[in-house]
Amino acid sequence: MSASAEERNARTPWALTAPALMLFVGVLLIPLAMTVMLSFHDWGQYKGIEPVFILKNWHEIVTDPYYAEMFGRTFRIAILTTLLTAVLGAPEAYILNRMGGRWKSVFLLVILGPLLISVVARTLGWALLFGGNNGLVNKLLMSAGLIRAPIPFMFTETGMVIALAHVMMPFMVLSVWAALQRLDPQIENAAMSLGAGPVTIIRRIIMPQIMPGVLSGAIIVFSLSASAFATPAIIGGRRLKVAATLAYDEFLNTLDWPLGAAVATLLLAALVLIVVGSNALIERRYAEVFR
Amino acid sequence: MSRNGPLALIFHTIFVIVMVAPILVVCLVAFTPEGFLSLPTNGFSLRWFRAIANYPEFVHAFWVSLGLGALSSFVALLFAVPAALAIARYRFRGRDALAALFLSPLMIPHVVLGIAFLRFFTSAGLGGSFAALIIAHVIIVFPFALRLTLAAATGMDLSVEMAAVSLGAGGWTLFRRVTLPLILPGVISGWALAFIQSFDDLTMTVFLAAPGTETLPVRMFLYIQDNIDPLVTSVSACVIAITMTALILLDRFYGLDRVLAGKGDTGR
């Protein structure tokens, strides 16, 4: 009797997860596998998709310098966005953490809230601020005497990086914030009582302890920026393509699905490699922090 | 009481202004009385909000988004609640792998998901249909529904359930009368967060939506591609207002920091 009860007990978790598991296998894993297969199919203007196994699309991506340039731009933008969010987001999280209770929660809401506001609306805001040569940002910078001639923001990588950094900033602040919560404020006081100045405290006490937070935030920001679609499409326009907008064009304008699938597969593979690799590196480096 | 120096406070002020500026400028331009993009310097006007009514595409897209978000978040919970209970309560082989699979839509770029679903649903003869949108959205909001339910189920006091069992409750009654009410705050927050994610998704949906099933972000995106005028700013202002309302409700009932703290550690 006890054996059958135990058996039933062992089956319960599987019975509870079975519907979700079937859903994920049926409409997530199978479509993803189909996409990888699609990248090996042939395509022609008139014949459409031909289900054969060829390396044509992959060969084109590897040999045509257009794709090297496009992936180069994608990852360049992602790296610059990550750096910008880290350099500005980490100090902000630190300042936020030192604020008094009431202000802390107000500003946390102000900075993290945009995370849930439509990316289209937020990017539209940047398009309005940049808007041509006499956009608000340029007017402000010129009247402050910081620049002489207007900087072109629309349809440039500069504008894409700024808008993307704004979109991704909450992830970085959140990640550093989480690391700061684990930090013992007494260590800072101890360092101060031993005669350490503010610069030494930040460099020797705070920085090493929040580094895991900065790095895990960087991984999130990097992978989201490299696959971002809305912001590059609106700020970059039709000519400045990144991986996601190129795949969109191949699928919905050119209709060369196999080539688009190859671009998407390469993007996914590159991101998985980078994210898994850097996660492993960080965990080895900071094993004691993660326990 | 603040322990920040003046330099830190200046940095903080500029940071907050830059974070808020793009959102604020959209909302301000929406109130312009002019026929072109400009800040409302000569008084405020609601003409561009009234103009939305003359564009049935936007109104229709709004209802599509609302229905899609509500329905897909509900369906996701039907699958996520039992799965969350299993993962929270039982130690079984493959548990970690299952949890990783269920959270994987956060890690896969939405552009890749959009392509995969487009290929899949077109082959299945469901291309451009509302049903295809629902299924696709169930997958992308599932991790949010699962995670908040999981947090509620993990924090639950099991002795209440044991008491109910000792009094003869079992199976469905136990779930409906004891377990569900206890995890309900987590379930509702999971639904709200899932709804926001579905309501805001552009990247995946843009591949799947056809005329008639276009969601609001997709309609807005396609509109912006052609021209930017005050109409799209007033639509955006409405979207921002809806999200803010949901945000404030989430914050009241569950605590925004808890919702977002769960969100930050694995990314999308």
| Inter-chain touch A28–B86, beta carbons under 8 Å | no
Nearest to B26 among A99, A124, A175 (CB): A124
Q: pLDDT band at residue A289, thresholds of 50, 70 and 90?
A: low
Q: What is the mean pLDDT of residues A102-114?
A: 86
Read off the amino acid at residue A47. K
**What pLDDT, on a 0 to 100 scale, did the predictor assign at position A8?**
62
What are the residue boundaries of the structural domains of chain B, listed by start?
Answer: 55-264
**Which position has the token pair 């922090």?**
A289
**What pLDDT, on a 0 to 100 scale, did the predictor assign at position B257?**
66
CATH class of A67-290: mainly alpha
Beta-bridged to residue A42, according to DSSP, are: A50
**What pLDDT, on a 0 to 100 scale, did the predictor assign at position B206?**
96
How close, in Å, is residue A63 to chain B by CA atoms? 23
What's the whole-number average pLDDT of chain A?
89
DSSP secondary structure letters along A161-230: HHHHHHHHHHHHHHHHHHHHHTS-HHHHHHHHHTT--HHHIIIIIIHHHHHHHHHHHHHHHHHHHHT--H
Q: Which residues, including other chains, have CB under 8 Å from residue A172's CB and lie 6 or more apart?
A: A85, A86, A89, A90, A93, A214, A217, A218, A220, A221
Does the pLDDT value for residue A51 go beyond 90? no
Which of A171, A168, A177 shows the shortest CA–CA distance to A104? A177
Quick check: pTM over 0.95? no
How close, in Å, is residue A158 to chain B by CA atoms? 16
In order of A179, A199, A285, B46, B108, the CA distances from A215 in angstroms are 10, 21, 11, 46, 19
Residue B210 to residue B118: CA distance in whole angstroms: 11
**What pLDDT, on a 0 to 100 scale, did the predictor assign at position B266?**
35
Torsions phi, psi for B92 (to 5 deg)? -135, 160
Read off the amino acid at residue B225. Q
Q: In B, residues 232-261, which contact A (CB 8 Å cutoff)?
A: 232-233, 236, 239-240, 243-244, 246-247, 251, 256-257, 260-261
Q: Which residues, including other chains, have CB under 8 Å from residue A150's CB and lie 6 or more apart?
A: A133, A134, A135, A138, A142
Q: Does B77 contact chain A (CB < 8 Å)?
A: no
Q: pLDDT band at residue A291, thresholds of 50, 70 and 90?
A: very low
Residue B160 to residue B182: CA distance in whole angstroms: 9
Summarised one tens digit per residue, pLDDT across range A244-263 is: 999 999 999 888 999 999 99
Q: Does B202 contact chain A (CB < 8 Å)?
A: yes
Q: Could you give the count of Cα atoms lying within 13 Å of B98 in the half-sphere of its Cβ?
A: 25
Residue B85 to residue B104: CA distance in whole angstroms: 19
How close, in Å, is residue B29 to chain A by CA atoms? 9
H or E segment to which residue A50 belongs? strand A48-50
Read off the amino acid at residue B166. S
Residue B119 to residue B105: CA distance in whole angstroms: 17
Q: Considering only CB atoms, which chain A residues are within 8 Å of B206?
A: 229, 248
Summarised one tens digit per residue, pLDDT across range A162-210 is: 999 999 999 999 999 988 988 887 888 888 888 888 888 888 888 888 8
Q: Considering only CB atoms, which chain B residues are within 8 Å of A163?
A: 22
SS3 B107: coil
| Inter-chain touch B261–A248, beta carbons under 8 Å | no
Does the pLDDT value for residue A4 go beyond 80? no
Residue of B nearest to A112 (CA): B260
CB-count exposure of residue A290 (10 Å: 0-12, 13-18, 19+): exposed
> What would you report as the CA-atom Rg of chain A, rounded to the nearest whole angstrom?
24
Q: How many CB pairs under 8 A join A and B?
A: 259
| Inter-chain touch A229–B87, beta carbons under 8 Å | no
Q: Does A87 contact chain B (CB < 8 Å)?
A: no
Each residue's pLDDT expressed in tens, for chain B with a length of 268 residues:
457 889 999 999 999 999 999 999 999 999 988 888 888 878 888 989 999 989 999 999 999 999 999 999 999 999 999 999 999 988 888 899 999 999 999 989 999 999 999 999 999 999 889 999 999 999 999 999 999 999 889 888 888 888 888 888 877 888 888 889 989 988 988 998 899 899 999 999 999 999 999 999 999 999 998 888 899 999 999 999 988 887 777 777 777 666 665 543 333 3
Superfamily designation of domain B55-264: MetI-like (1.10.3720.10)
Residue B66 to residue B64: CA distance in whole angstroms: 6
Residue of B nearest to A279 (CA): B266
* ipTM here: 0.89
Residue A17 to residue B81: CA distance in whole angstroms: 9
Neighbours of A4 (CB within 10 A): 8
The two structure tokens encoding residue B42: 């000569």
Q: Considering only CB atoms, which chain A residues are within 8 Å of B200?
A: 116-119
Q: In A, residues 21-80, which contact B (CB 8 Å cutoff)?
A: 21, 23-24, 27-28, 30-32, 34-35, 38
